[in-house]
Amino acid sequence: MLFDMSELPADVTYKILTATVTPRPIAWITTQSPDGIRNAAPFSFFNVMGHEPPTVAIGLLRHPQRGFKDTAQNIVSTGEFVVNLVPSAMADAMNVTCIDAPPATDELLLAGLNTVPSLKVAPPRIADSPVGFECRSIATVLTGPLQSVVIGQVLCAHIAEAFVIDASRGHIDTPALDLIGRMHGSGWYARSTDLFQLTRP
C-alpha cells in the first residue's frame, strides 16, 4: 500500500515512521538553561551521523501551542548538551523524565538521578549511564514549522571502564551495555538481546 506522506495527517505520518523505523536508539539528553536550571528528557529521533568529526543528530518536535520544550530551548540558547545512553536497568528512571512537567522543573531530581560534572560543557552527565557524550551544537536545521534537527559535535565520550575492552583500539563490550531502544506505539521498548552476525562480503 502506498502512503503519500504529503496527503496524510501529521499523527498518521508519525505513526507510520515510528512503527517502521525500529528500534531507535534513545538520546537521554541533559541540558542546562542560561540560568543554571537542569533538564533531562529522552529523545528517540536520534542517531550518530559521522565520525570526522564525530557528530550526532537529534530531532526536536515543537508543540503547536506550547512551543519547544526545555531541552530544545536550552540547546538553542546555550549550544550545549549531553547525550546519555539508556541501559535496561535505568528504563524506569528514563520513563520518569518523559513527564510533561512545567518549565524549570528538574527532571533529574524527580527521577532520583545522580549526576557528575561534565568536562567541556555545562550540563551534567547522568552518573549511572554507562555512556555519555558531551556535545556542542554545530547546526540547527528547521525542517518544518513544528520541528528542527540539531547536529552536535561530540567533544568527548565517557564510557564506564567495566565496558571498555581495549581503549587504544576503541573496542567496547556493546552487548554488556544492555542498552534499550524505542519501538512502535505508546510505551514500547526493546532490548538488544537477540543478535546475529553476518560476514561482510
CATH numbers and ranges of domains, the chain:
22-160+173-190 (2.30.110.10)
Dihedral sign computed on CA atoms, order 129, 182, 153, 168: positive
Mean pLDDT of residues grouped by 10 in the chain (201 residues)?
95 94 97 94 96 97 73 93 98 94 86 97 98 97 91 98 97 97 93 91 95
Instruction: Specify the pLDDT at position 145.
Output: 87
Given its phi and psi angles, is residue 170 left (phi above 0), alpha (psi -120 to 50 degrees) or beta?
left
The answer to whether residues 84 and 125 touch, using CB atoms and an 8 Å cutoff, is yes
At 106-152, the pLDDT tens digits run 999 999 999 999 999 999 999 999 999 999 999 999 998 889 999 99
* CA distances to 20, 31, 49, 70, 119 from 159, in Å: 30, 19, 19, 26, 14
E strand map for 14-167: 24-25, 27-32, 38-43, 46-51, 54-61, 80-84, 115-116, 125-126, 131-144, 147-159, 164-166
Dihedral sign computed on CA atoms, order 20, 22, 28, 32: negative
Instruction: Specify the pLDDT at position 44.
Output: 95
**Beta-bridge partner residues of 126:** 115
The answer to whether residues 153 and 138 touch, using CB atoms and an 8 Å cutoff, is yes
Residue type, 18: T
Instruction: Specify the pLDDT at position 100.
Output: 83
